[in-house]
């Protein structure tokens, strides 16, 4: 492996590279709330939130989350619905459920202290190699690699690595590179500096090479190949799903909402009645009414379509036809089926798509 992908490491001035990188980070690092101290719990929460999500988006969520759940114990003992509500709008909700499950394990089995060794921390739910490395290096000063897309992009350019970063096996190459390069005196700043460099300077398109503190070390810059790296194959084509959904209110103005199943996409979040549209039905309004009668034990007045909302996931896109209607009768409320007032709606966590639906219907004349 080293003779091919990491051949450029042999003649690489590692010490100067570390000094240039860390020196830049000490001067230019952004002021971020999770950098105020090295609390492993806060580092952990921030790293989970930052997966698939921009820093600017995460900051207010992180602040509210830590205010509501300031300690391992507070999150471990919180109701899941409250945790999901605090996460509402961030997406990828399995991150929140896995985080709470792992925090409960830390609370019960490790006395509330986040483990400080690779084996134990990697056994926690939702903690992969990157998150484990980030917590160990940033919070505990342990020289473990924390390799994400940012880091792979930066190092692919600096070391001229032409392996496909979309392939899971390629991560091992970059982890080996970080193990050779990482500062043992300050692994926290080293790993954070690589991430920061990828976020601010060595960006996916149009990298700011003239501002780069480690330009002198970069093979891709000298070869004029920085725009060609990293190599990354495109994802498979997304699946398009047609959905009909209805916002229903009864005669008293209460909304009918349902809790999604414990497993699968958007697990345990609340939603308005909806169904994937079957082409076997000529009229989706009839299909919607039939579904609500069968699955919800509810009779509705003919719904009115108010428009369409598209919502994109990483692997599929929902094309939602939005209806509004009146709930005439409901056999019974259940633990997963409730009638709630507009004020009570604020207590339940909804996917972004259903938040958009509610706003759309409320604004519809």
pLDDT digits (tens, 9 = 90+) for 71-121: 999 999 999 999 999 999 998 899 999 999 999 999 999 999 999 999 999
| 160: nearest Cα among 228, 232, 233 | 228
Which band of pLDDT confidence, cut at 50, 70 and 90, is reported for residue 2? very low
Distance CA(149)–CA(194), nearest Å, equals: 11
Which band of pLDDT confidence, cut at 50, 70 and 90, is reported for residue 216? very high
Q: Residues in the chain, how many?
A: 365
Which band of pLDDT confidence, cut at 50, 70 and 90, is reported for residue 4? low
The DSSP-derived string for 162-173 is -SBTTSTTHHHH
pTM of the model: 0.85
Which 3 state secondary structure label does DSSP give 65? helix
Paired residues of 243 in beta bridges: 276, 320
**Does residue 303 register a pLDDT over 80?**
no
Paired residues of 246 in beta bridges: 323
In 179-273, DSSP assigns E strands to: 239-249, 255-259, 270-271
Task: Write down the domain spans for the chain.
Answer: 7-223, 239-364
In CATH terms, the superfamily for domain 239-364 is Nucleoside Triphosphate Pyrophosphohydrolase (3.90.79.10)
Q: List the CATH code of the domain at 7-223.
A: 1.10.340.30
Tell the residue number behind the tokens 């600017």, with chain if given.
Answer: 56
Which band of pLDDT confidence, cut at 50, 70 and 90, is reported for residue 1? very low
Catalytic residues: 47
pLDDT recorded at residue 364: 77
Are 7-223 and 239-364 equal in CATH topology?
A: no
**Does residue 227 register a pLDDT over 80?**
yes
Helix axis angle, 55-68 to 40-50, nearest 10°: 140
């Amino acid at each position: 492996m080293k003779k091919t992908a990491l051949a450029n490491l042999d003649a690489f001035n590692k010490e100067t590279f570390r000094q240039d990188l860390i020196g830049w980070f000490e001067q230019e690092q952004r002021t971020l709330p999770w950098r105020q101290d090295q609390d492993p719990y806060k580092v952990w929460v921030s790293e989970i939130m930052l997966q698939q999500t921009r820093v600017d988006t995460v900051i207010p969520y992180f602040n509210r989350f830590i205010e509501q759940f300031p300690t391992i114990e507070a999150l471990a003992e919180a109701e899941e619905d409250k945790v999901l509500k605090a996460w509402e709008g961030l997406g990828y909700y399995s991150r929140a459920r896995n985080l709470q499950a792992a925090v409960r394990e830390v609370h019960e089995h490790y006395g509330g202290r986040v483990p400080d060794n690779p084996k134990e921390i990697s056994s926690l739910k939702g903690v992969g190699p990157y998150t484990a490395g980030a917590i160990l290096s940033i919070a505990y000063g342990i020289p473990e690699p924390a390799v994400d897309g940012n880091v792979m992009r930066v190092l692919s350019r600096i070391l001229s690595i032409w392996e496909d970063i979309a392939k899971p096996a390629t991560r091992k190459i970059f982890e080996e590179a970080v193990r050779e390069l990482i500062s043992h005196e300050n692994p926290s700043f080293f790993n954070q500096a690589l991430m920061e460099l990828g976020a601010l300077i060595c960006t996916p398109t149009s990298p700011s090479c003239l501002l780069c503190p480690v330009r002198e070390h970069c093979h891709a810059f000298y070869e004029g190949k920085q725009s060609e790296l990293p190599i990354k194959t495109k994802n498979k084509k997304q699946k398009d799903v047609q959905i009909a959904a209805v916002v229903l209110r009864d005669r008293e103005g209460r909304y009918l909402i349902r809790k999604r199943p414990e497993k699968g996409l958007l697990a345990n979040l609340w939603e308005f009645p909806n169904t994937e549209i079957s082409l076997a039905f000529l009229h989706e309004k009839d299909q919607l009414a039939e579904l609500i009668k069968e699955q919800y034990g509810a009779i509705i007045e003919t719904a009115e379509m108010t428009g369409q909302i598209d919502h994109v996931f990483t692997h599929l896109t929902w094309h939602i036809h939005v209806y509004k209607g009146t709930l005439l009768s409901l056999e019974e409320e259940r633990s997963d089926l409730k009638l709630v007032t507009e004020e009570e709606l604020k207590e339940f966590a909804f996917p972004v798509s259903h938040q958009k639906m509610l706003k759309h219907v409320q604004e519809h004349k």
